[in-house]
Amino acid sequence: MYKTDKRSHYKKLIRDVRLAELIGVILGDGNLYKHPRTENLRIICDSKDTIYVKHIAKLIKRIFNKRPSIIKRKNENAVVVSLYQCKICERLNLPCGNKIKNNVRIPPWIHRDRKFIVRCLKGLFETDGCFQEDKSNYAQYIEFKNNCKQLRRDVYNILTKIGFNPQFGSNYIRLAKRNETFNFKKLIDFRNY
């Protein structure tokens, strides 16, 4: 999953579907912090969703070849999956710090390959997304909510690129056509591990 970059002496990450999914997860519920001698990747998960927490921890271990710590937050229904390592931001091609202030976006290499797009969308929609179905009104939608306009624009563009017709809202991207909703849910294998 990794190879040595002789210039930096840190593992260069392989651009594959796992990394594309992890980037989606980080852009959704993750944070990257810079410290004087290292960097920290943190992903906040619902503590009740133990299968998803294990999935994220396994993904991080495979990509970085290091087991992340899993810490339950006191008096909260949250778990932090955390990894300390040098040059995380540089290798992920994502900025450290506040995602909204940094106007984060999906790295360009993901836009170039449909399988990378699909796995990145899986990470994004499983963190900042939801699927709603109202059987009494025959209505359903799948939605990605995020306050970063550039990220919403990227999600809109890649959904359009792979043949969907999303709605662009003030803080969401939504698929509301019945056939598109279910096709997309199946395509990204939403919440199946």
Q: Is residue 87 exposed (0-12), middle (13-18) or buried (19+ Cβ within 10 Å)?
A: middle
Mean pLDDT of 91-101: 94
Claim to verify: residue 82 and residue 125 sit in the same structural domain? no
* pTM of the complete model: 0.90
For the chain, the domain total comes to 2
pLDDT, position 9:
59
**Same domain (yes/no): 79, 120:** no
Residue 147 lies in a domain: yes
Q: What is the pLDDT of residue 62?
A: 95
For residue 115, give the nearest of 180, 19, 181 by alpha carbon.
19
8 and 44 belong to one structural domain: yes
pLDDT per residue as tens digits for the range 121-130: 999 999 999 8
Q: How confident is the model at residue 132 (pLDDT cuts 50, 70, 90)?
A: confident
9 and 77 inside one domain: yes
Per-residue pLDDT, averaged over 149-158, amounts to 96
Binning pLDDT at 50, 70 and 90, where does residue 11 land? confident
> Where does a domain end: 96, 129, 147?
96
176: pLDDT strictly greater than 60 = yes
The pLDDT of residue 190: 85
Is 6's pLDDT higher than 90?
no
Question: Is a pLDDT exceeding 60 seen at residue 5?
Answer: no
User: What's the rounded mean pLDDT across residues 31-55?
Assistant: 95
Q: Which domain holds residue 59?
A: 2-96
